[in-house]
Every structure is written in structure tokens, then in C-alpha cells.
Amino acid sequence: MFDDEVDRMLAVLDSGFPAVQEMSGRAARAAVAARRPPKDGEVAALAATEDYTIDVEGGTIPARVYRPRGTQGRVLPGIVFFHGGGFVLCDIESHDDFCRLLAAGTASVVVSVGYRRAPEHRAPTAAEDALAGLRWTEANARRLGVDPAKLLTAGDSAGGNLAAVCCLLARDRDGPVIAGQLLIYPVIEPDFDNDSHRRFGKGHFNTTAAMRWYWRQYLGGDEHDALPRPEEYVAPSRAPRHAGLPPAVIVTAGRDPLCSEGRRYAETLRSAGIGVRHRHFPELFHGFFTIVALGAAEAARDMVWSDIRALTDNKEVPA
């Protein structure tokens, strides 16, 4: 039904995206920001926003809070969101429209956290900032109109990594208690020897070459070097145990070099007894879920919003 639209969008994205692996982090950010589409006026009307500053070790980071229109005075679930961009690119503004959709679609307050990015800030700075954003949200839950018992993490791509790592950090460091995690085609580990990278590492927008570069920026070295320890706070699949983590909704796209690692992480969580709802979209590509104008993305979002609403209504995540 959406095949032609998807193929056209993928062709446009693949032909126009800059070769970030040939650039510095600063130059890559500027090149990607220059391609940013204008904001959608209809989407902007879905949520009211307030901007905040969060104190973190060594500085401050920005946060933007989204509340669905017509919900003032109500206590809602809270979703702490981390944007994608390979730990290097994008920011709160790049994902502003998407966060409005997320807030309206799930009837939640969304807190978008602008973590510090690589290469200026290497791993695990982004993960520590993510945890700081989560703890700030819990500490300010009453002021924000958030139910602290219904606090979720969410992120796309590298942000999905941070959302998953945040759950490990919160479990291992005595909170906050997290009710669920939404991982949208997440970056899980620097593993490029898998079926998805072999089949879709070129010509499908996100590339293996770009992913290698992102990891080098984040780690400060080659992906074959030892990861900073504890490894699981950089690559969540490396955790010695996954028991005690919150239920997960995981989105993967079939034409994405990250598909294999996302699917494998879903299996890892299931094996640890964690409830997982794995939404797989075989004809779609990395980045599709945040594209406002893509019909296939709208249909996918509706499914996932339903999953999140079920989770925050204290229902079990279906397998």
C-alpha cells in the first residue's frame, strides 16, 4: 500500500544525505541542520511547550517539556525522550515535531533532553546526561503534571541506545523506577558483522560507513577498541544480566542496517523475562518513524502509540 511512497522517500533521503564519515563532527552537524525541513504548523498545535535548563556534572543541558493540548491540570504519564543522530547530530529542535506527535499520540508529558554530543563529549557523557534528565523529570514530576509511577524512557536510533542504557543505570543506581522503554530502531552495539549491515549497509539512507563513524566519534577510537567500562552503559546488550528492566516496545525497520541488533536486543530482553512488544516494519528504513509526512510512518506510529497507552494503563506489554 505504501511501497511507492516509501521507495520515493528513501531515494530522496539516500541521495541527499551528506557523507558525514568524511567530515568533522561540527561540519556534519551544520550539513545535516541545513537539510532540516520547516516545522509543520498543524503538528505544532498539538502540544504546548516550556523550555528548561538541567544542571549536570560539568555544565548544563537543555530540556523541552511538551504537554498535549487540552490536558492542563491533569496528571499524565511522563516520557523522557532522547533524540537520535549517531550521538553527534541533531538536537531538541530537530525532533520538535516528533515530540509533539509523541505527546499527543500517547497522552503523555514528554521531556526532550538535549544531552551533550560527541566528539566534544565522549561516552558515557550522553548516557549520564540522559540519567540526569530522567532524575530531573522525577524530581519535578508534580510541577510538570507527571505521574512518577508512570515514567518511561524513549529514543530513536542513538537516542534509543540512551533510553535503553538509562534503564540499566536506573536499575543499578537505585532509581528512578521506570515503567517502560520505547526503543525506536535503537543503536545497541558496535557490531557490523551481521545480516542487516551486509544487506542494507549501502543505498538505504543510513549506512555502515556512517555508523562506524558515529561510533568512532562517541568512543574516541576504533570500534574494535575496548569499550569504556562498564560496557553496558555504552552498549546495552553487553550487560551481564537484563533481569529487572522495565517492559519494552521496540521498533525495527527491515531495510535498516540496525535491524539485526534491534531484533537481537528484543530477544535478549525476552530471554530475561522482560515483556517486549516488538513492532517490525519490513519494508521501511532507518529514520522513517519521525518523518511527519510519510503515510507509512503515520500508520506505524498509531500502532506504537496504542502500545504505549496500554503500557501506561498498567496493562501487560503483549509479546
**Active-site residue set:** 157, 256, 286
Q: What residue type is 160 in one-letter code?
A: G
φ, ψ of residue 77 in degrees (nearest 5): -60, 155
| Rama region for 250: left / alpha / beta (φ>0; ψ in -120 to 50; rest) | beta
Nearest to 232 by CA among 286, 288, 272, 201: 272
Nearest to 130 by CA among 57, 227, 231: 57
C-alpha cell at 28: 556534519
CB 294 within 8 A of CB 97: no
User: Can you tell me the distance from the alpha carbon of 112 to that of 52, in angstroms, rounded to the nearest whole number?
Assistant: 10
Residues constituting the chain: 319
DSSP symbol at 180: E
- Dihedral angle at the C-alpha atoms of 102, 60, 135, 165, nearest 10 degrees? 70
Helix axes 96-106, 295-312, angle to 10 degrees: 50
Question: Helix %, strand %, coil % for the chain, to 5?
Answer: 40, 20, 40
180-184 and 248-255 beta bridge pairing = parallel
CB 191 within 8 A of CB 256: no
DSSP symbol at 161: H
Q: What is the DSSP string of 212-256?
A: HHHHHHHHSS-TTSPPPSSGGGTSGGG-S--TTPPPEEEEEEEE-
